[in-house]
Structure 1
Amino acid sequence: MEQTIDRSRLFWASCLALLVTSLSFGIRAGILNELGTTFQLTASELGVITATAFWGFPLAVIIGGMVVDIIGMKRLLLIAFLFHLAGIIFTIFASGYWSLFLSTLLIGIANGTVEAACNPLVATIYPDNKTTKLNHFHLWFPGGIFIGTLIVFFFNKIGLGWQVQVATMIIPTLLYGYFFSRLTFPVTERVAAGVSTGDMYKALLSPLFIFMIICMFGTAITELFTGQWIDVLLRSVTDNALLVLTLTTGIMVLGRGLAEPVVHRFSPQGVLLISAALSVVGLYLLGHTSGNMIFVGALAFGMGVCYFWPTMIGFVAENLPRTGAVGLNFMGGAGMFAVSLYLIFMGGYYDNLVKSKIPAGISEAEAANLLAEARKAAGPEIINVTLVIPIILTVAFAGLVFYMRGRKKAVVA
């Protein structure tokens, strides 16, 4: 007898898997400085370790996107479960740079595999409401970061170390692995519609798809680089740098939860234009203000990046459906790959900025006294460099709004 597809349970199990992904981001962002101190790592080394998660993600999401139609979404998610469990355990028992590198890579691969399966899954089970449901699904990304930063904040207050903070991810990992092992999955939308593999790959050469891939570089860097490094960049500027990230992600959760009326009122491309403009305002305030005004900047920034990731993927799902699971996952892979390169570059750039602000020929004691001031100046400078990206995106998405007014909506078959 044919088993029934329970799309509600599939959706909530997907949200739980994404929660693990986002917890890894939030907790890692919160313990980054402590890892640097514990293992005597430079900002460049921390940048490479952080970037490793972003390498593993595109590797997994692109490969996963290419095989998901063959092996099925269920098998892919069970593979994600195994990688998550291994990565978390290896992180808890990390002893230095290379063990952190490996464990972060495993978690990155798991994170990418979750997206490789869950993005097409959500698009398949909600074919008439893709962008809204992808926003509802992706609210668990900032939601998990929000929870993760609170875990770090409160666990630090009561004296529980970073290993215990990382270990909290084991519980939702075991839960989503169990749920997915028990549920029945549909085939992907592209397979159900009978679009051939050849036609799917031809659709990837569409000028509109290539344009969206390029824009994904910028939207991902604007959102994820800033969020992942906020504690490093602003720690010397405010005593509550991690709470800036908590506020930003809290706004993102609320915004994505209310996505339906926003997307229907402004269209996906209209939402992207508004998001880019608000991101410009938010980053400008984060890079040019201090004190309580930083939290105003965080509020604007959170409203700006709120819809970026799910609406970019939702736009492709709605307007370029023939690209299938590969198209959705190429978008995610492109975004994470861009962030990984940017993290490495900016880690080195940050170190050089700090060094350039400490005069040569002074004693170690004098250099130590100047270090805090050097970091205080370097963090906002990094934010100001990143500000250029959403400015370019604002222009690009304005063009997209005008282009889409004259374009008919695509269909799968």
Structure 2
Amino acid sequence: MSSKSATPSTTPDMKLFWACFIALVATSFVFGVRANTMLQLQNEFNLSEQQKGNIGGAGMWPFAISIIFFSLVIDRIGYKLVALFAIACHTISLILTVQATGYSSFYWATLLIAIANGSVEAFVNPVVATMFPRDKAKWLNILHAGWPAGLALGALATALCEAQTWQFKYSLCFIPLVIYAVLTLPRMFPVNERVAAGVSYRDMLKEVGGVGFFILGSLLYFAIMQMAGKQVSLVSSATMGAVIGAAAFIYTRSPGNWLFLVVLITIGPLATTELGTDGWMPDLLKLSGPDFPNFETWIFVYVSAVMTVLRFYAGPIVHRFSPIGLLVIGASIAIVGLLLLSNSVGWAILGASTIYALGKTFLWSTTLGMTSEQFPKGGALTLNGVSAVGVLFLGVLGSPYIGYKQDMDMEKRLSSTEHAALYAQVKGESKDGMFGLTPTLDQEKIKALPAPEQKQLEAVQAANKRGAFTTIAILPTFMLVCYLGLFFYFRSRGGYKPVEIGGH
């Protein structure tokens, strides 16, 4: 390991921190480009809403495969090797993306990008947590300002290149890739604090335990079977998860740290609340905004910019409220923001989006900070395992369900007596998906509609898409209940305190 890592030093290597930051920018830049070219791709490839959701899912859940794999071995092979793999994987996946010719080829290229993104996340989180052992929540929040910064830059790039092809827009993703590659290659990486403290591999696995591996295994099996094009059910996934969980329990003799398990069951809804909404937001707002060029893209840029700025100033905010207090506040505001978005049209969307941005800003990064501070013995596994469960839930269930729900709600609206004649003109063939046969609208038939019917359809679509925000708002409501439970738990113990790696 000595050839790949440097021993920890009292002075953090800020060049290494910024290399990690730009690597995270590169991962979300492509996410921002994809979210803001999805309608262009829909027209190009005649995609259903569920196929769009499947692409969104493929852009997330394979992330978990790479992050789980590398979290189990990264302490042995070193952070540098994982960083090199991420650079190579990003390069290949972007080349395949710009050469895609249809839904299938684009789907697989998107999947490979997600594997590259997971590799980045696998090394940047534990590296930064190790570099700043006394201030993890603050610096992980600052690190994850790179995510909304990349989203904003990706969306801005697509807006400024509106007239260009989607291939050209995706080619812009090579810019942050080259920058983070150049910054990363010369750097020396630290040894994880768990390894430096002499905590055993078995003790690391104990933090996750049998129940944690059951959750991870169930979702991962579902994702792998889906990737292989196999039919998979929740029952078969749970069965495989139970086998993996039982094996982990036998080895570790631990069900897992109960507090960590609570974090695991909240991260899936959190990922869908933040990342799932990010992926769908331009599409959901397109028909409800004012008559302003690329309004939905500019809102996406605005929300991401607000998040970037706030995360850079996370230190005093985390200190004032504590990580768990900040999660309670964030979930509460996110609920309000999503409900306002579901009822806003025109410029009112700007105000609703501001509230939504304030609510979701600290949820993901503060969860990582709390995980790193409460479970230091878990090392890279607990820290990255949280992210893995989040994107697995989003990829295999969250994002596809958002698309499926829109397709089903749209059919319900158009099947009414008022719109039945219009529906007969645009109805497409049902397409098979994870949740069964899904009704679709034929994009070619929509283009052929006379102007009055097109306006009528757009009005129905706008109301339908706004309704998706109400569905999503259920998720932070569940999170809020869990966070309040943790808040009162910590309060009963004298308040929130980080756990020392040699303590309990």
Give, in angstroms, the shift of residue 20 of structure 1. 0.6
Give, in angstroms, the shift of residue 51 of structure 1. 0.6
Instruction: Using the TM superposition, name which of 387-396 and 30-39 deviates more.
Output: 387-396
**Aligned residue in 2 for 1:133:** 139
SS in 1 for 2:414: coil
1:211 aligns with one of 247, 250, 262: 262
**Aligned residue in 2 for 1:118:** 124
Does residue 307 of structure 2 align to residue 303 of structure 1?
Answer: no
Give, in angstroms, the shift of residue 391 of structure 1. 1.6
Give, in angstroms, the shift of residue 180 of structure 1. 2.0
Distance 1:125 1:409 in 2: 16
**Aligned residue in 1 for 2:169:** 165
Q: Could you list the per-position Cα deviations for residues 102-147 of structure 1 after superposition, in whole angstroms to 9, with x for gaps in the alignment? A: 1101110011110111100000011111110001100010011011
**Aligned residue in 1 for 2:204:** 200
Give, in angstroms, the shift of residue 177 of structure 1. 1.9
Distance 2:261 2:24 in 1: 26
Distance 1:354 1:409 in 2: 48
Distance 1:116 1:105 in 2: 17
Q: Could you list the per-position Cα deviations for residues 17-53 of structure 1 after superposition, in whole angstroms to 9, with x for gaps in the alignment? A: 1011010111111101100111111111111111101
Does residue 387 of structure 2 align to residue 332 of structure 1?
Answer: yes
**Aligned residue in 1 for 2:296:** 241
Conserved 8 A contact 1:273-1:398: yes
Conserved 8 A contact 2:79-2:189: yes
Give, in angstroms, the shift of residue 78 of structure 1. 0.7
Instruction: Using the TM superposition, name which of 3-12 and 316-325 deviates more.
Output: 3-12
**Aligned residue in 2 for 1:79:** 85
Give, in angstroms, the shift of residue 310 of structure 1. 0.9
Does residue 191 of structure 2 align to residue 187 of structure 1?
Answer: yes
Distance 1:172 1:230 in 2: 23
Unaligned runs of 5+ in 2: 209-255, 426-448
Structure 1 pair 106–215 and aligned structure 2 pair: CA distance change class (3 A): same
Aligned 1:391-402 pairs, distance under 5 A: 391-402=477-488
SS in 2 for 1:387: helix
**Aligned residue in 1 for 2:327:** 272
Counterpart AA for 2:261? I
Distance 2:405 2:488 in 1: 37
Give, in angstroms, the shift of residue 179 of structure 1. 2.6
**Aligned residue in 2 for 1:58:** 64
Conserved 8 A contact 2:128-2:139: yes
Calculate percent identity across the aligned residue pairs: 33
Distance 1:185 1:10 in 2: 8
Give, in angstroms, the shift of residue 250 of structure 1. 1.1
Counterpart AA for 1:374? V
RMSD over aligned Cα atoms? 1.7
Distance 1:218 1:411 in 2: 29
Instruction: Using the TM superposition, name which of 379-388 and 114-123 deviates more.
Output: 379-388
Counterpart AA for 1:212? V
Instruction: Using the TM superposition, name which of 340-349 and 16-25 deviates more.
Output: 340-349
Distance 1:142 1:97 in 2: 27
Aligned 1:132-151 pairs, distance under 5 A: 132-151=138-157
Distance 1:247 1:108 in 2: 24
Distance 1:137 1:254 in 2: 12
SS in 1 for 2:321: helix
Counterpart AA for 1:105? L
Distance 2:325 2:112 in 1: 36
1:174 aligns with one of 171, 178, 195: 178
Distance 1:323 1:212 in 2: 14
SS in 1 for 2:185: helix
Distance 1:172 1:409 in 2: 34
Counterpart AA for 1:388? I
Conserved 8 A contact 2:262-2:482: no
Q: Could you list the per-position Cα deviations for residues 290-336 of structure 1 after superposition, in whole angstroms to 9, with x for gaps in the alignment? A: 12221111101111110011100100111111111000111000111
Distance 2:492 2:136 in 1: 21
Conserved 8 A contact 2:24-2:144: yes
Q: What is the TM-score of this pair, normalised by structure 1?
A: 0.96
Distance 1:357 1:372 in 2: 12
Distance 1:311 1:166 in 2: 30
Does residue 62 of structure 2 align to residue 11 of structure 1?
Answer: no
Q: Greater share of helix residues, 1 or 2?
A: 1
Distance 2:500 2:455 in 1: 63
**Aligned residue in 2 for 1:389:** 475
2:52 aligns with one of 46, 60, 63: 46
Distance 2:264 2:95 in 1: 34
Counterpart AA for 2:263? M
Distance 2:110 2:93 in 1: 6
Unaligned runs of 5+ in 1: none
Conserved 8 A contact 2:61-2:393: no
Conserved 8 A contact 1:358-1:370: no
Distance 1:287 1:252 in 2: 21
SS in 2 for 1:357: helix
Counterpart AA for 1:231? P
SS in 2 for 1:390: helix
Give, in angstroms, the shift of residue 225 of structure 1. 0.9
Does residue 445 of structure 2 align to residue 356 of structure 1?
Answer: no
Conserved 8 A contact 2:54-2:399: yes
Q: Which has the larger radius of gyration?
A: 2
**Aligned residue in 1 for 2:217:** none
Counterpart AA for 2:258? P
SS in 1 for 2:304: helix
